[in-house]
Chains A and B, each alone.
Chain A
Amino acid sequence: MAIRFVLMVNKQGQTRLAQYYEYLTLEERRALEGEIVRKCLARTEQQCSFVEHRNYKIVYRRYASLFFLVGVDNDENELAILEFIHLLVETMDRHFGNVCELDIMFHLEKAHFMLEEMVMNGCIVETSKSNILAPIQLIDKAP
């Protein structure tokens, strides 16, 4: 698995979206989220966006009040993951129009759906925004 999980966390450390691509129990998830969030939120803007954690890496970026954290294997290309995060944000932006944290909170299933279109089995399978959004738009239009 190249990508192990995707988290969206706000500045207070509350999880807004959590998608795991390998199975972890609820306690493990909570512990993991707590550790990682503490590490990443403590970093400043001048520091790089990659954090080594246990035997894998975390690539993160902050957009307004939301942190996007992606856990990846050690051999993954970090810059590509940063671009992936940006792609995700742009896709959500296009769909919701000026996406903000509240949009994600109230339309969590849509955000999940978008993420599922982009990543399956930990691999990035779709990188074109229109391709990602097409099914969602069709579903929305359906009665």
Chain B
Amino acid sequence: MANPSIMDTLFQRSLEDLIKGIRLQSPDSSTPTSSFLCKSMEEIRREIKSTDPHTKSIALLKLTYLNSIYGFDMSWAAFHVVEVISYPQFPLKKIGYSAATASFHDGTDVLLLLTNQLRKDLSSSNGFEVSLALQCLSVIGTTDLCRDLCNEIFTLLSSTRIYVKKKAIAVVLRVFRKYQDAVGVCFKRLVDNLESSEPQGMSAVVGVFCELTLRDPEGYLPLAPEFYRILIDCKNNWVLIKVLKIFAKLAPLEPRLAKKIVDPICEIMRRTMAKSLMFECIWTVVSSLSEYESAVKLAVVKARELLVDDDPNLKYLGLKALSSLAFNHPWAVVENKDAVISSLSDADPNIKLASLRIVMSMVSEDNVVEISRVLINYSLKSDPDFCNEILRSILTTCSRNYYEVVFDFDWYISLLGEMSRIPYCQRGEEIENQLIDIGMRVKDARQELVRVARDLLIDPALLGNPFLHRILSAAAWVSGEYVELSKSPFELMEALLQPRTSLLPPLIRAVYIQSAFKVLVYCLHSYLLQKEATASSFAADGNTPWIENSAIQGPEGSDLATSELDREFNPRDFSPSFENNGHSISKLSTHKSMVNLLNLTEMALGPLMESHEVEIQERVRNILGVKELVKQEILDHSAQKEENSEKKESDASKIIELIYHSFSEELGPVSASAQARITVPNGLVLKDNLAELEIICGDIELPVSTSFSLGTLHSREKEVLSLDDAASNEDSEPSTESTSLLSEHYKRHKLYYLLERKMMPFPLIIHLPMKVRFRIIRSMISMIL
């Protein structure tokens, strides 16, 4: 850039010109990138190098303006700032100091150069110069500066010029923070100032002590008598507010102090006209003096005055005061219940949130039903954000500590169902988690759960709402898992297979299909059993053993499963056990209805057999495979004569039995630390770092894998029994290296390969893409069957 010339000095634009120039620009050019501002910045860069103090200062002034309002960086001008500060003329010095305040920070390296100048100015006879230096120091003071200038500050603390003393007191706060040793030097003088109680300096002194006390209350306890004196004598509201804050921190440390200040504070509360002071009193009582009943009562009365005021600010503060009382003094909230509840429909979201918080803190076993009812009503009337906030807080509060406040789970489950139907509800995931959680933990509630789930599943309108999909997934899972408690499994089947389920995302559809599978197996099983039972009731007792055998042969499952089997499979109690379960499947499972069921399954799921979504495809093929198996059997039955009642159990029945048993096994919640408790078997090396795989799969792109399970029949969405996450990392096209290894292996061990060359050994399947994997496994299963 050109050197600053005399032209610059003569024609320099003042700050006022600059501002006028900016204002003349069209609105969209006042952005930092606009050409006018850039041009001005260039001018400034030239001008600031001038040796003429006046020019330099004006340039600096403009620069400070642009920095503060438009965010232009001015750290490059740091040295110029120091120069300008050193000018003797006061207005120029002022410009320099304000530039320093605006732009210097701990990292500015020219700060050290300022030390001497500050020292000079601090000792100046001109009070204003001193004040400039003090103000600057209060913002930019670093540890070094504070240390070097500590003595000067110390002198100023007892200056006769009030104006200067006041500022010195204020600076002390920064000095103490940055340079701890200063405390020893200056503290005494600070306390002297406190005791002198000069009106002008009072605000500053008390302000400083307020900040200091907030950080370290214990150290300032000895000064309590001084503060007490101020509390009683001072009439300045600002000072009183600060003193109250100090006492709020000191009172909990010293009960005798608390006793002493209670009365003066109550007196102030009664007398004062200033709302700010009154609020401060309320807050002090509520936060630190809450053992004094009379004070608290007075505070509550005053808080009520705030609460019913029309001014939203006062209302908000009243709610704030009440909310901190809610824990220890619930009567205060109960007294003002109406005001709090009416605030739930206030125009201001802050007020609504504050009142919601108060209401939630009042929830206990006795009133949870009533409160939830009131809140749900409000949520229906509110905007989406607040509605969801209400639902979220109800869900969180009720599920706290494993549903501590809920004693009637039937009611809670129907409440969850009701919440799902609220138009704005977006809390699908939490509701889903809770439905499943309660289902697993609370056996008695399962009946109600199945009922609510049925209501949700039947309604076709809900399928179109994306926020509800997770809840529907939970409903479907619950229906499948506890299908024996359902009143009408056929209805369930229709609901799970209805055409509108195509609106669901694939993973959730997969849950639906899996549940349909469970329901189908259940119906088939009951039907087949019934068939055998009616057949056996004609025959001799010879037929009964096989049923009992199957009961004994039951799955290697838990005692729970076998006891269920004992209950249900005892042919002597055949009919009563079914009726005990509260549904009349024995009446419904006519041959015709089973055929209908199977046809429905085929119709609904047939088209999905070639679906691109592996989750869906796998499950559909499972269910249709089983259907094929039993179809023959069922269709045969219509032609079967009663002489064939001695026929051995068919393959189909065996399979249905097996599947049913595996579905009956109950899966409980797994604790979070369960995996960690299992010791790693010898010889298994678990590696964190799979970088070695890079060698094999180097340049191949890994497909994005959704969670999949190498399907055992009763795997759920949640418990992904995936072939380790490590396996999904290895999911890639086989590289040429591994195919050649494969072919070598095949040549050597052809004898042991089950099938043709196309078939790969099981472990190496993990190198293949998921779709191919599934095809292989499915074909394996179909070949076995």
B523 nearest CB across to chain A (Å): 56
Range for the number of chain B residues in contact with chain A: 35 or more
Which residues of chain B from 129 to 157 have any CB-CB distance to chain A below 8 Å in the complex? 131, 134-135, 138-139
Q: Quick check: A48 and B204 within 8 Å, CB to CB?
A: no
Instruction: Tell me, in angstroms, the Cα distance from A55 to B276 when the chains sit together.
Output: 22
Residues of A within 8 Å of B, CB-based: how many? 47
For residue A116, which residues in chain B have a CB less than 8 angstroms away from its CB?
135
For residue B174, which residues in chain A have a CB less than 8 angstroms away from its CB?
121
Instruction: Tell me, in angstroms, the Cα distance from A123 to B106 when the chains sit together.
Output: 21
Instruction: Indicate whether B527 reaches chain A with its CB closer than 8 angstroms.
Output: no
Q: Quick check: A123 and B210 within 8 Å, CB to CB?
A: yes
For residue B348, which residues in chain A have a CB less than 8 angstroms away from its CB?
46-48
Partner of B211 from the list A2, A15, A46 (CB cut-off 8 Å) is A2
Q: Quick check: B203 and A46 within 8 Å, CB to CB?
A: no
For residue A15, which residues in chain B have a CB less than 8 angstroms away from its CB?
69
Which of these binds chain A: B309-317, B464-472, B550-558? B309-317
Instruction: Tell me, in angstroms, the Cα distance from A14 to B71 when the chains sit together.
Output: 12
Q: Quick check: B128 and A135 within 8 Å, CB to CB?
A: yes
For residue B139, which residues in chain A have a CB less than 8 angstroms away from its CB?
21, 121
The B contact surface, by secondary structure, is: helix
Q: Quick check: B317 and A78 within 8 Å, CB to CB?
A: yes
Per-position contact with A for B445-481: 1 when CB-CB < 8 Å, else 0?
A: 0000000000000000000000000000000000000
* Residue of B135, B170, B200, B283 ringed by the most chain A CB atoms within 10 A: B170
* A to B contact number (C-beta, < 8 Å): 126
Per-position contact with B for A106-143: 1 when CB-CB < 8 Å, else 0?
A: 10110010001000111111111001000100110010
Q: Quick check: B19 and A18 within 8 Å, CB to CB?
A: no
Instruction: Indicate whether B403 reaches chain A with its CB closer than 8 angstroms.
Output: no
Report the nearest A residue to B347, measured CB to CB. A46
For residue A2, which residues in chain B have a CB less than 8 angstroms away from its CB?
210-211
Which residues of chain B from 482 to 515 have any CB-CB distance to chain A below 8 Å in the complex? none
Partner of A23 from the list B105, B312, B317 (CB cut-off 8 Å) is B105
Instruction: Indicate whether A30 reaches chain B with its CB closer than 8 angstroms.
Output: yes
For residue B276, which residues in chain A have a CB less than 8 angstroms away from its CB?
77, 79-80, 82-83
Q: Quick check: B312 and A121 within 8 Å, CB to CB?
A: no
Instruction: Indicate whether B331 reaches chain A with its CB closer than 8 angstroms.
Output: no
Report the nearest A residue to B174, measured CB to CB. A121
Q: Quick check: B170 and A123 within 8 Å, CB to CB?
A: yes
Which residues of chain B from 201 to 227 have any CB-CB distance to chain A below 8 Å in the complex? 203-204, 207-208, 210-211, 214
Instruction: Tell me, in angstroms, the Cα distance from A120 to B90 when the chains sit together.
Output: 21
Partner of A29 from the list B71, B163, B171, B279 (CB cut-off 8 Å) is B71
Which residues of chain A from 7 to 56 have any CB-CB distance to chain B below 8 Å in the complex? 14-18, 21, 23, 26, 29-30, 44, 46-52
Instruction: Indicate whether B231 reaches chain A with its CB closer than 8 angstroms.
Output: no
For residue B210, which residues in chain A have a CB less than 8 angstroms away from its CB?
2, 123
Which 5 A-B pairs give the minimum distances between C-beta atoms? A79-B276, A123-B207, A120-B170, A47-B348, A48-B312
Residues of B with Cβ closer than 8 Å to A?
16, 19, 23, 30, 61, 65, 67-69, 71, 73, 90, 94-95, 98, 105-106, 128, 131, 134-135, 138-139, 163, 166-167, 169-171, 173-174, 200, 203-204, 207-208, 210-211, 214, 236, 238, 241, 245, 275-276, 279-280, 283, 312-313, 315-317, 347-351
27 chain-A/chain-B pairs, Cβ below 8 angstroms = A14-B30, A16-B69, A18-B68, A21-B139, A26-B71, A30-B71, A46-B347, A48-B348, A48-B350, A52-B350, A75-B245, A79-B313, A79-B317, A80-B238, A106-B19, A116-B135, A120-B171, A121-B170, A122-B211, A123-B173, A123-B210, A124-B203, A125-B167, A135-B128, A139-B90, A139-B128, A142-B90
